[in-house]
Chains A and B, each alone.
Chain A
């Protein structure tokens, strides 16, 4: 390669490297601010600012969803596998909301450590499948559970 061209190429690469390093530093300094939500573990550990509106995200714990009979009030637990946080919400939940599904809730923590949410968003994963496949997988899981149950009695 022509020496002049090589010099220009090296100069460009250095510039990109420099800009990249600067952006990387800025992003790592902003780490927590870029996260869309706090995980239940972070909330339990007290990493959350007091009296601030925060987002909490995690999986809705199976069997934790309780609906009020005469209003739109619901409350449910959200977990990240190690800790769980209770979320109270009043309103219509998104279509994809269900137990075992990832969600993000926006609201304030009250004195009891319950997140009083005014917005609940559903997350979904990158796994798509036809309904028949999902049904077959659920059936297989149920069958396995049914086969496994008597064995545990012994």
Chain B
């Protein structure tokens, strides 16, 4: 495998150029997916035989929960790249993705709580899945707060990277909490290895929504990272040229 791609990623200028070309495609794709998934899931998908229409919140809840965990794994990966290869862009990615991940976790918790009331009979229960997800939210808060507390950029980068890497042990706990312990939360709806336990007209829109959330996440992350790169490299000549051109 050629490593030029990987090493080029270290150059903020190269990143700014390539992400600019990616943005329009990503925007179109994620808006399309989101529109199709929402209408399909919320209007056309059949209702559940037990829960009726209230089950439709799955089309927001599950994608948000998947993204919350994927985003954290991305933070940990960025942390490793930042610590081992000292790549500046990895720190930019880590800082920019943390708030998005925190919001995703928040959305998953809120939608889950709204869903819990009509189905389980309670908004919140200290069950292993719910609690580990709450810990994930606090991990995100910790990373964001750590970054804000340390004014030196390099020190902050190292500290947040270490925190992101250490916190990754929570991810398998979230994933397997429903298998290891008795929980109120049901086991996973989507797994890579098994067929989903629902008919295609229910899980296809869910899949579309998951892809849409990944698209929106990537879009949001790239926009935030481009802004952060410009801010950090504002003294570089290529940044000045871009800004002068657009002014």
Residue of B50, B80, B85, B128 near A34 (CB, 8 A) is B128
**Nearest neighbor of B55 in chain A, beta-carbon distance:** A128
Contacts known (A94-B120, A126-B186, A134-B49); A16 close to B166, Cβ less than 8 A: yes
| Chain B residues with CB below 8 A from A31, complex form | 181
Is B20's beta carbon under 8 Å from chain A? no
Task: Report the interface size class on chain A.
Answer: 35 or more
A142–chain B nearest beta-carbon distance, Å:
16
Asked whether B202 lies within 8 Å of A9 as measured between CB atoms, the reply is no
Secondary structure dominating the interface of B: loop
Segment from B21-29, B193-201, B229-237 that makes contact with A: B193-201
Is B155's beta carbon under 8 Å from chain A? no
Asked whether A130 lies within 8 Å of B47 as measured between CB atoms, the reply is yes
**A window 3-23: CB within 8 A of B:** 5, 8-9, 12, 15-16, 19-20, 23
B219–chain A nearest beta-carbon distance, Å:
29
Contacts known (A37-B182, A96-B51, A134-B49); A124 close to B119, Cβ less than 8 A: yes
Residue of B49, B83, B168, B189 near A131 (CB, 8 A) is B49
Segment from A59-67, A115-123, A144-152 that makes contact with B: A115-123
Asked whether A131 lies within 8 Å of B80 as measured between CB atoms, the reply is no
| Chain A residues with CB below 8 A from B202, complex form | 128-130
Tally A-B pairs: CB < 8 A: 111
A94 to B54, alpha carbons, bound, how many Å? 14
| Chain B residues with CB below 8 A from A37, complex form | 182
Residue of B119, B126, B128 near A95 (CB, 8 A) is B119
**Nearest neighbor of B182 in chain A, beta-carbon distance:** A35
A39 to B127, alpha carbons, bound, how many Å? 15
A132 to B48, alpha carbons, bound, how many Å? 9
Asked whether A23 lies within 8 Å of B83 as measured between CB atoms, the reply is no
Asked whether A123 lies within 8 Å of B48 as measured between CB atoms, the reply is no
A39 to B188, alpha carbons, bound, how many Å? 21
Contact with A along B158-197 (1 / 0, CB 8 A): 0000000110110001000000111110111100000001
Most chain A CB within 10 A, of B47, B119, B168, B189, is at B119
| Chain A residues with CB below 8 A from B17, complex form | none
| Chain B residues with CB below 8 A from A107, complex form | none
Contacts known (A123-B184, A126-B187, A126-B189); A20 close to B169, Cβ less than 8 A: yes
**Nearest neighbor of A128 in chain B, beta-carbon distance:** B198
Contacts known (A9-B84, A36-B127); A128 close to B121, Cβ less than 8 A: no
A47–chain B nearest beta-carbon distance, Å:
13
Contacts known (A15-B166, A19-B166); A127 close to B119, Cβ less than 8 A: no
Asked whether A129 lies within 8 Å of B49 as measured between CB atoms, the reply is yes
Asked whether B197 lies within 8 Å of A121 as measured between CB atoms, the reply is no
Is B125's beta carbon under 8 Å from chain A? yes
A141–chain B nearest beta-carbon distance, Å:
14
Asked whether A36 lies within 8 Å of B183 as measured between CB atoms, the reply is yes
Asked whether B84 lies within 8 Å of A8 as measured between CB atoms, the reply is yes
Is B46's beta carbon under 8 Å from chain A? yes
Contacts A15-B166, A16-B165 supplied; 6 other A-B pairs, CB < 8 Å: A19-B166, A23-B173, A96-B51, A124-B51, A124-B120, A130-B48
Binding site for A on B (CB under 8 A): 46-51, 55, 58, 80, 83-85, 118-122, 125-128, 165-166, 168-169, 173, 180-184, 186-189, 197-199, 201-202
**A-B interface, 5 closest residue pairs, ranked by CB to CB distance from nearest:** A130-B46, A94-B121, A134-B49, A128-B198, A127-B197
